[in-house]
């Protein structure tokens, strides 16, 4: 197995992007997610940055993909700022999915990040599972856990 790389050398892999795409699902009309947050495209919310999501907003698939790319760039920057240890590409992909879903502010305060920066990689993966509400997120968390540990690479487990 290849050595872990410094986070600044990592980018979301094609496989990681495809899994994240599948986990989020494409919606071209604004909707409220399970927590009531206005969302559009591939899981984009206003808290992720522009564009601001509004009631009744619609976008094209091309716009959704462009927003997704911009959101991923922002979350990558956040990961670089927060993660202080080297990662395998699949670990980075799993973290990108997790951060994309919970947000970088929540990740910054998480047990997962604390364990990761202490080089407790298995403990980090286990801590991803703590984020299990609402209940429909559990299969995504298990998949991110498994992806982080390179057990299997699926959208939902």
**Active-site residue, selected from the candidate residues 9, 14, 22, 24:** 24
Packed helices 138-148 and 121-128: angle between N→C axes, nearest 10 degrees: 170
Spatial separation of the C-alpha atoms in residues 130 and 97, rounded to whole Å = 15
Q: Say how far apart CA 91 and CA 21 lie, in whole Å.
A: 17
What backbone torsions phi and psi does residue 41 show, to the nearest 5 degrees?
A: 70, -125
- SS3 label, residue 44: strand
Residue 32 CA to its chain's centroid (Å):
19
Q: Distance (Å, rounded) from C-alpha 81 to C-alpha 76?
A: 9
Which one of 33, 61, 77, 136 is the catalytic residue?
33
Q: Is 9 designated active site?
A: no
Q: Is 66 a catalytic residue?
A: no
Catalytic residues: 24, 33
């Amino acid at each position: 197995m290849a050595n872990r790389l410094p986070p600044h050398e990592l980018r979301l892999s094609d496989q990681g992007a495809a899994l994240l795409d599948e986990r989020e699902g494409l919606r071209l009309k604004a909707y409220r997610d399970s927590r009531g947050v206005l969302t559009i495209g591939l899981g984009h919310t206003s808290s992720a940055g522009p564009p601001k999501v509004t009631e009744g907003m619609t976008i094209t698939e091309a716009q959704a993909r462009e927003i997704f790319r911009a959101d991923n760039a922002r979350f990558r920057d956040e990961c670089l700022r927060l993660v202080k240890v080297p990662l395998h590409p699949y670990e980075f992909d799993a973290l990108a999915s997790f951060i994309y879903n919970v947000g970088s502010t929540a990740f910054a305060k998480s047990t997962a990040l604390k364990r990761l920066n202490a080089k407790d990689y298995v403990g980090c993966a286990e801590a991803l599972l703590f984020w299990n509400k609402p209940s429909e997120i559990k299969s995504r968390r298990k998949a991110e856990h498994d992806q982080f540990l390179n057990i299997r690479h699926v959208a939902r487990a």
